[in-house]
Structure 1
Amino acid sequence: MKIFILFLFIFSFISSAQSSQKDILNNLFDQLQTINNSKSAALLEKKIWSIWNEHPNDFRLTEKLEFGTELMQYGDYNYALKVFSNVLDNDPKWTEAWNKRATVYFLMSQFTNSLNDIDKVLNMEPRHFGALSGQARIFIKIQEYEKAIKSIENALKFYPSFKSRELIPEIEKLIKENSI
């Protein structure tokens, strides 16, 4: 009986942490949609990234994600890929782990793998402007420019002042150059 009560307590704590993160994110995204000040938008973006990068109930996975991110920043992509895959083995529902792995795949020029992971991110968190921006950058690399614009436009629905909007004129220029 004590084990059952302990299980219920742990389950309700985990569920509460995940619910709390979602509530905070919803509030931040509501603010992000209405803000016109780029400095305030950047602060909101930073808060959103902070939540995405923190596992809702397993600090150990947060530490692994941070470690993998450091490896990626230092150019050790193969090791970072192993770390992110390990995190996903432990929690395949953590959106940011998929996003980080998509990023390392992008850096390794494994665009199909990256797009597959981005799809997983967007299925779980369609407002993930980082994944949408990464998706746009892949589409630019593989010269699917209209898809790139669509990815950025999708991000702008949730984050109207998103700095990746600056890519749209560049992509339109590429479209014109390739149609000549």
Structure 2
Amino acid sequence: MSSSLILVIALSASVTGAPSLLAADTAPASATSELTTPKQRLDALFADLKRERDPEKAREISDRIRVEWQDSGSASVNLLMQWATKALEADRKATALDIFDQVIYLSPQYVEGWNQRATLHYRMGNYRKSMSDINQVLAIEPRHFGALAGMASILTAAGKDELALRAWEQFLEIYPADRQAQEQLGNLEEKFAGNRT
């Protein structure tokens, strides 16, 4: 429920003298605001993502998850990540790689440091290094759907279709409404069905 709708209901409740309506409508908002730790917020978002069947709404939830992942909890690490992003925008991959190395050294449990370095290794064609970083991402956050998609892409490129299929299945366990993942899984399943006949 939007905050403006809650405000309208609150104002109408005070005018009509219906405090029970106000209490009922503000209860979910206060329950959500009690999710103060990043883990609690992520757990709630992942539960929502798993239930959501509408692709657009699911994308909004996945974007909120990405925002949660981006915050390292350290101003220094967040600044380094901004510098790495600027280096990538300027096509200075080696500089960005050095910065990601520093991020991982300073904050080895920060999942996006590993994930962004994995993505950069992938873009540079360093698939083995990318896969190593993806494994670190999944050790820290097994629900990291972005890392699972990267893993599936690398496995497909390497001709390891059965393992890629499993990675897409894991992805869809976490993020069932993603159409691209559904397509990728469908293509692999068709390929296996064709091989069996």
Considering the TM-score relative to the shorter chain, is it more than 0.5? yes
What is the Cα deviation at residue 158 of structure 1? Answer: 1.1
Q: Is the contact between residue 95 and residue 124 of structure 1 (CA under 8 Å) also seen in structure 2?
A: yes
Correspondence 1:58-97 to 2 at 5 A = 58-97=74-113
Aligned-pair Cα RMSD in Å: 2.1
Greater mean deviation of Cα atoms: 111-120 or 66-75:
66-75
Gaps of 5+ in 2: 1-35
Query: 1:9-88 residue pairs with structure 2 within 5 A?
Result: 20-56=37-73, 58-88=74-104
Looking at structure 2, the residues matched to 70 and 48 of structure 1 have their Cα atoms a distance apart, in angstroms, of: 22
Shift of 1:132: 0.2
Specify the SS of the correspondent of 1:36: coil
Residue 188 of structure 2 is aligned to residue 166 of structure 1: no
Cα separation, partners in 2 of 1:84 and 1:44, compared to 1, 3 Å? same
> How many Å apart are 1:38 and its aligned residue?
1.2
What's the secondary structure of 1:52's corresponding residue? helix
Percent identity over the alignment is 29
Q: State the TM-score, normalizing by the size of structure 1.
A: 0.82
CA contact (8 A) 1:33 1:158 kept: yes
Q: Which residue of 2 aligns with 1:98?
A: 114
Could you tell me which amino acid in structure 2 is paired with residue 104 of structure 1?
Answer: L
In structure 1, list runs of 5 or more residues that go unmatched. 1-18
Residue 149 of structure 1 aligns to a residue whose secondary structure is helix
The 5 Å alignment of 1:124-143 reads 124-143=140-159
Match of 1:113 in 2: 129
Cα 1:92–1:42 shift into 2, 3 Å:
same
Larger Rg: 2
User: Residue 127 of structure 1 aligns to which amino acid in structure 2?
Assistant: R
1:143-162 matches, cutoff 5 A = 143-162=159-178
Question: Does the CA-based 8 Å contact 1:140-1:171 persist in structure 2?
Answer: no
Greater alpha carbon shift after TM alignment, 92-101 vs 73-82: 73-82
- Name the CA distance, whole Å, in 2 between partners of 1:111 and 1:168: 21
